[in-house]
Amino acid sequence: MDGETSWVTHCFNNTGGDIAEFEAFSEISDEGDKDSLVSLDFILPDDLLERILSYLPIASVVRAGSVCKRWNKVVNSRRFLWDSSILLQKPWYFMFISSDDPGGYAYDPILRKWYGFELPCIVTSNWFIASSCGLVCFMDNYSRSQLFICNPITRDWKRLEEPPGLKFSDYSALAISVDRKSRGYTIAILKSKQVPGDFLRWDLSIHIYDSETKSWVTSVTEVLMGWRGGDESVICDGVLYCLIYSTGVLGGSENRHGLIMYDLSTRSSCVSLIGTSIPVPCSLTCGRLMNLNDKLVMVGGIGKPDRPDIIKGIGIWVLNRKEWREVSRMPHKFFQGFGEFDDVFASSGTGGLIYIQSYGAPALLVFDMNQKQWKWSQKCPVIKRFPLQLFTGFCFEPRLEVAP
């Protein structure tokens, strides 16, 4: 068994005792006719065994690879990893247990279990994090000089060269998109910096990394008046979407947030970013962008009409061309349990699931986009809570076949 599979198996077993260690197969009894006893494993052809194992949740697939040499060979074969059935896994949610520790717990929504988990590369929870199709990108929040991409399941990782001048930005946003066919990926970083000596204007630039060319390109730069970039962006169906924030210096702004977009297929440097802006559906205390099946989805804290900085609810919207369509609002019973006084919160999603987490508690709320259903996850096994501790996390697709 290779080192990666051994490490993953160790991670899945490191859950505080809720998953037992593997036991050896029982030996055949001396009683009776041994020649008449045949193991089903010996007569099951490899292709049928692959088909059966491909329907298992990924945690079960990893454990199946520890059963015997034959099963380990099957689950690590290229044909098995590229089988379409195994690609349809529900996204996991990783929750940090402290701000200065890269370890935490990963939630599997299929088995409804938490696993002790440690992420490679990342140092603290306040780093920029973006994920797509099994790969996760990390960038340090302070100097912006450390940029990594990894598969958190296999622990394969790679350090990337950061774009020039990024460490001098006031605000940054990180996004990644993985091509499911070629396994190539695109990373986008939005940089925002106040123009020296002019508090009204902000420089905004978009930097694109292509895994095929292994190089960065500064695609577009623009000076915004009364708006700045932030830390929220996502790539969806070849388009980079970014939230921008009103600086309040021009007055009369009804909303504190806006949305701009940039078509990555054109890589045009002549586009006006502010000309692509779309107003958010209502006054928001905060907004979180995510890609769900190539649809742009936003989860936002709904502000009170007279006090937009005070949250009165949480809504979910899908962008249809340039119009927002409301999908659901968090029911009041969940909103009360979630933390109705927290105007900002963590939220991420992919596939058909959206995770929402209060910064003040480890409780995790899950919204199923297909069933339009809200429910709490299993309680996270966080043992210690520290004063002023902030809980946060992100979701990712558990995949075995993708690598940086």
Instruction: Give the number of other CB atoms < 10 A from CB of residue 248.
Output: 10
In a domain, 402, yes or no: no
- pLDDT computed for residue 88 by the predictor: 62
Q: Are residues 160 and 70 in the same domain?
A: no
- Whether 312 is covered by a domain: the verdict is yes
Tell whether 264 is covered by a domain. Answer: yes
Q: What is the full DSSP assignment across 278-316?
A: EE-SS-EEEEEEEEETTEEEEEEEEEPSS-TTSEEEEEE
Tell me, yes or no, whether 29 lies in a domain. no
Residue-by-residue DSSP string for 91-116: PEEEEEEETTEEEEEEEETTTTEEEE
Both 81 and 100 in a single domain?
no
Q: Are residues 254 and 286 in the same domain?
A: yes
In this structure, the answer to whether residues 225 and 81 fall within a common structural domain is no
Q: What is the pLDDT of residues 320-377, one digit of tens each?
A: 989 999 999 999 889 886 665 678 899 999 989 999 998 888 889 999 999 999 999 9
User: Is residue 238 located within the same domain as residue 356?
Assistant: yes
The β-bridge partners of 301 are 286, 314
Same domain, residue pair 256 and 208 = yes
Same domain, 195 and 271: yes
DSSP 9-39: HHHHH-SSSSSPPP-PPPPPPSSS-GGG---
Both structure tokens of 137: 């990108």
Q: Residue 76 falls within a domain, yes or no?
A: yes
Cβ pair 150, 55 in contact under 8 A: no
Q: Distance between CA atoms of 1 and 9, rounded to whole angstroms? A: 11
198 and 96 share one domain:
yes
* Residues 133 and 237 placed together within one structural domain of the fold: yes
Helix (H) or strand (E) holding 244: strand 239-246
pLDDT tens-digit profile of 136-165? 999 988 777 889 999 999 899 999 987 777
Q: What is the pTM of this model?
A: 0.84
- Residue 166 makes CB contacts below 8 A (sequence gap 6+) with 144, 145, 172, 189, 191, 207
d(CA 341, CA 30): 67
Run of H or E including 350: strand 346-350
Assigned domain for 155 exists: yes
The CATH number of whichever domain residue 119 belongs to comes to 2.120.10.80
Tally of domains in the chain: 2
**Does residue 272 lie in a domain region?**
yes
Residue that finishes a domain, picked among 49, 67, 85? 85
Residue 234: strand, helix, or coil: strand
What is the reported pLDDT for 5?
40
Counting Cβ atoms within 10 Å, is residue 329 exposed (0-12), middle (13-18) or buried (19+)? middle
Give CB contacts under 8 A, 24+ apart, made by 38-47. 41/68, 41/70, 46/74
Answer yes or no: do 228 and 375 share one domain: yes
- Please report the pLDDT score of residue 386 as a whole number: 60
Q: Residue 395 forms beta bridges with which residues?
A: 93
pLDDT score recorded for residue 11: 46
343 and 220 co-located in one domain: yes
Backbone angles phi, psi at 336, to 5 degrees: -65, -45
Q: For residues 363 and 336, what is the distance between their CA atoms, to the nearest angstrom?
A: 12
User: Looking at the structure, do residues 241 and 229 belong to the same domain, yes or no?
Assistant: yes
Distance set, CA 403 to CA 5, 77, 91, 170, 177 (Å): 14, 15, 17, 32, 13
What was the pLDDT predicted at 271? 85
Q: Say what the pLDDT of residue 18 is.
A: 38
Q: What is the reported pLDDT for 263?
A: 94
The whole domain housing 142 covers 89-396
**Closest C-alpha among 332, 361, 331, 328 to residue 345:** 361
**How far apart, in whole angstroms, are the C-alpha atoms of residue 404 and residue 76?**
17
Is residue 375 included in any domain, yes or no?
Answer: yes
Instruction: Tell me how far apart the terminal alpha carbons of the chain are, to the nearest angstrom.
Output: 22
Identify the domain boundary among 85, 103, 125: 85
Q: What dihedral angle (degrees, nearest 10) is formed by the CA atoms of 316, 107, 403, 214?
A: 40
User: Domain ends where: 64, 85, 106?
Assistant: 85
Residues of the chain with pLDDT under 70: 1-42, 82-88, 166-168, 249-254, 337-341, 383-388
